[in-house]
Structure 1
Amino acid sequence: MTIRIIIADDNLFIREGLKIILNTYEEFDVVSLVNNGEEAVEYCRSHDVDIALLDVRMPHMNGVEATRKIVESTKTKPVILTTFDDDDYILGAIKNGAKGYLLKNNDPERIRDALKSVYHGTSIIQDEMLDKIKDSLSGGPQVSEAKFDTTMFTQRELEIMSFIAKGYSNKEISEQLYISGGTVANYITSILDKTGLKHRTQIAVYYLTGKVY
């Protein structure tokens, strides 16, 4: 398995540093380094790329807008990697279809694991970012229950949504509920169909806030 990655960041030092780090892992192949979101979009449209690792604040086109264009016109999975944990950027990236949102101060192993999870179909968002979303959108520091009409979902679907909001993977959910991974995936598909959402990160935000992003 080789995961083809491009890195978009207007800071040369960060671009080169990330390339060196990721290329130490045999499963990654950093195929290109670009300066901004516009270049990232063009590269993904003309090349076979698995993951686009995007900074948020870049000239010409930021990572949030690049995410939207990449999702609309390619099969590449965008992942936001940034030093900024601003709520607006988080929500914008989620709304536009980002498959992951990570801070640059993560250990290389955590970035590695996150990229592998995204490649295999799991969306990743860090706990501290979900906490910020809960606080900013719910109007308080604690959210302990769903803030939407629960009658449209089965009890099992609500359980799975709760686990997703806690950051559990499909495998971890299946172990907790004693059901197969395929059954978990089927329930998630049903949840997405009922809500019109696109991926599990949006499910987490919806479960915690009752809002669709």
Structure 2
Amino acid sequence: MSGGSAGRAPVLNIWDDHWDFRPEDCPCDVDFVAWLDEQGIRDASIYHFGTGGHHHVGIECAKPERQNHVLAITAAPREHEAFVQLAVSRPEVLRFYNAVFGDIYLINEQLLPEFDVVTLFHLCEFRGAANDEYGALTDLDVTRILTRRLRPGGYILFFPGSFAWDRTNDSAKDVVAEWERDGGVELVGRFKSLIVYRKAP
């Protein structure tokens, strides 16, 4: 990651990496598409946190048998560059998939539509002191905002296989536990590597 430093204005905290597609490295994305198919979810609006350079979720959701509408975010410039190349070479995917470059911790609720499904597989992985320098939101803030933008009866999914899920400090598991205590959501259960919650109807 990179961010601001003492003596100069803060800069965006980016993720300077690029995830190519290997199923063993991206079980959350693979399992998410499998979950969509098992649930028979089609023509749904999805918010996806973390694209990977492979853009697997967007590409799979754009296929004729699914045609889900995915808005994704990445803080990795190279992942976004891969999206631009994808959009140019496969415009049929762009009809159903758009990936924006930015910091999810600067998310603006007023710019968001309503969603049927939200993925927060990378909760707590990318936030640090550099985000604080420009007043970024917390992981709990982001989770609450996206829950408000979730339609009643909609789903929100987490990835307990994340390196940030059960760590000693600032764990995603603790954020999810506090978020769950807010009420208005129920635990549906596990699906492969994922944990599934549902917003009250």
TM-score, normalised relative to structure 2:
0.38
The structure where strand makes up a greater share of residues is 2
The structure where helix makes up a greater share of residues is 1
TM-score, normalised relative to structure 1:
0.37
